Every structure is written in structure tokens, then in C-alpha cells.
Amino acid sequence: MRIEQLQAFLAITETGNFGQAAKSCAVTQSTISRQIRALEEDLGLTLFHRSAQTRLTIGGEKLLPRAQRICQEWTKAVKECSDLIEGKQPELCVAAIHSVCAYYLPPVLQQFCQDFPQTQLRVTALGSDRAIKVLKDGLIDIAIVMHNDLLGNSPDLEIFPLYSEKISVLMAADHPLTKYDQIPLAKLANYPQVVFKDGYGMQRLVHEWFNKQKLELKTVMELNSLDAFRGVVRQGNIVALLPQGALIEATKDQDLAIRPITIPSNTESSSFSEESQSDLQSNSLTREVVMVTTADRLSIPPIAHFFKLVRIQLYNSDSINTSN
């Protein structure tokens, strides 16, 4: 059964004869006759009484309402697909890690709303693992996340590197470790740490990094809010390993201090797992931030345009480029 056959069937019921139906469908009468014969063969019954006035048989009457619904749905589907091609997407859903949502996306969101006012943006701050899951489930269009091993086995995903940023130690301004310009690993391991909750790429990176260094990570708390990190660290000896993008507000707080980490000179980059995405850049630990979508979504104008805006914004951001 083909949609053209159902359309021919409806045209005959509306015009009352095969000739007028052929004109309505912009085909020859023989084509209409052939389509109806093929449809009747598929269904195993006659659809019309062939007489001076073409009338539906009982089989045709049963088919009519369903054929109407099928063709209506087909028309809607064609229209929606056409709208996608023309950039008439009703909404665009984005999930991004907290620091990107807070500091790097606002100019992109404003520009996108000006360029595509008919498309409603829905932006959610999520951990990397959760963002990738909802992308794979089709609940969002774009994820901006920390690169992690969940992306390695997904050939259907398109991954675009955006930037890398240093990971430093956040602590109270009067913390004992502030006496160091660069904090030695052995000293850092002596203090309790607050980390991101399970499902965040940063938690996994920190755990893997400590394991590779054969050091114990003294985790005392898990959080998922940058405000909460600053509030907890401000109170005492607890420290946190955070990327530069998550430390922007902390640089303005006189009650907090930030220090880079000293990695022993005999530590080689090969000691880091590929999955952890750890790297040695300027003797510092870093993380890589990437933008992810599926190949089919990149053919949709609003999504492609959002991609372009993000890449321009993040490549041109001084606060990011100084960390590379």
C-alpha cells in the first residue's frame, strides 16, 4: 500500500469519478485506475462500484475514514519535515555543565534569540554523564560537557572540541596551603576534599587522577552547586579541585584563595588513562570541554547556527583562551 494510492482513493470519493480525480492529482486517468486496482489487490476487496456514478462499496466505506486520517497525518509529517529544513524548529533544547551555563552561554543565547526568534530555547545545567544520556535518549539537541569515556563508544555522536582549562585548588583564604604558590601533590592529599556528585565528569577525573598518583582522596562531601562549593570551602580546611570556569566567582571573593597544583617532574603524561581525559599542560591538570550532538541534527538550521555561535564565542573568549 502506498500513500499515492490512498490519495487517489480519496480524490475519487471527493470528485465522484476517475477522470476528475486524475485532474485533481495531476496524473493520467490510467494512472489513477492502476493505483486503485493495486490498492484493491492489496486489500482483497473492491472499493468502488464502477458505474455512471462512482460509489463506494462497503469495503470502500470502511477504508474511507482511516484513509483520511492516514493522509492527514502524512500531510502533517511532510509539513513538519519541510519546516525543519527551512529552520522553523519550534524549540531547541540544550544541556551544559554549570560553568558553561553560567559564564559562557549567555551571549550565545541572546544572539540566537535574535537570529531565530521563532525557536524557543530550553537550557538546562546538568552534569556531563546525565547530559550525554538525555542527548542519546533524544530529549535534548545539544550537550556541552566535559569529554569523558561515555563518548568513546558512540559512533552516532558528533563531538566538537571547544577548549581545555586548568584545574586548580580552591580553599579558604587562611588555609595552611595558601603558603604555597603551587601546591605539592603530597600536601594536597593531606586535606579533606569536597567533590562533585556522582554523574559529573569532574568527580571521575579527580578520583582517577588520585588513583594514578597512588594517593588517597579524602572525600568528605559531594555537591553539585558552585555556590555550595564556595560556601563549604570558605568555612575551614576542606579544599576542592575545580576547573577555571568554575572559579570565576571565587576570584572575586577575598575569603577564598586559588592555587595551581605542582605535578612531580618525574610524572609522565602516559600515566593518565585516556578515559580520564587528564593532560599535562604547563605542569597543570586540565579538562577538555566539548560540544556534542548527532549528525542528523546538524542538518537542521537552528541547531547548526547554535553550534556556530558557541564555537565563535568560546574560541574568542579571553577568559578561556588564557587557560589554554
Gap between the Cα atoms of 56 and 108, Å rounded: 58
> What pLDDT sits at residue 67?
92
- Longest C-alpha distance within the chain, in Å? 102
> What pLDDT sits at residue 76?
85
> DSSP labels for 62-89?
HHHHHHHHHHHHHHHHHHHHHHHHTT--
Gap between the Cα atoms of 170 and 227, Å rounded: 13
Contacts of 278 (CB under 8 A, 6+ apart): 205, 208, 209, 212, 272, 285, 286, 287
Residue showing cell 482511516: 66
> What pLDDT sits at residue 312?
87
Residue showing cell 494510492: 5
b/e burial code for range 13-40 (CB count within 10 A of at least 16 → b): bebeebebbbebbebeeeebbebbeebb
3-state secondary structure of 295: coil
The model's pTM = 0.71
Gap between the Cα atoms of 315 and 293, Å rounded: 19
Dihedrals φ, ψ of 65, to 5°?
A: -65, -35
**Torsion sign across C-alpha atoms 121, 122, 123, 126:** negative
Q: Where are the beta strands (DSSP E) in the chain?
A: 48-49, 55-56, 91-96, 120-125, 142-146, 157-172, 183-184, 193-196, 219-223, 240-243, 256-259, 261-262, 280-281, 284-294
| Spans of the chain, pLDDT less than 50 | 267-283, 319, 321-324
Dihedrals φ, ψ of 63, to 5°?
A: -75, -30
Q: What domains, with CATH codes, occur in the chain? A: 3-85 (1.10.10.10), 90-324 (3.40.190.290)
> What pLDDT sits at residue 316?
62
> What pLDDT sits at residue 308?
92
Dihedral (Cα; 14, 18, 21, 25), 10-degree rounding: 140
Gap between the Cα atoms of 254 and 144, Å rounded: 31
> What pLDDT sits at residue 265?
57
Contacts of 291 (CB under 8 A, 6+ apart): 142, 143, 144, 159, 160, 162, 307, 310, 311
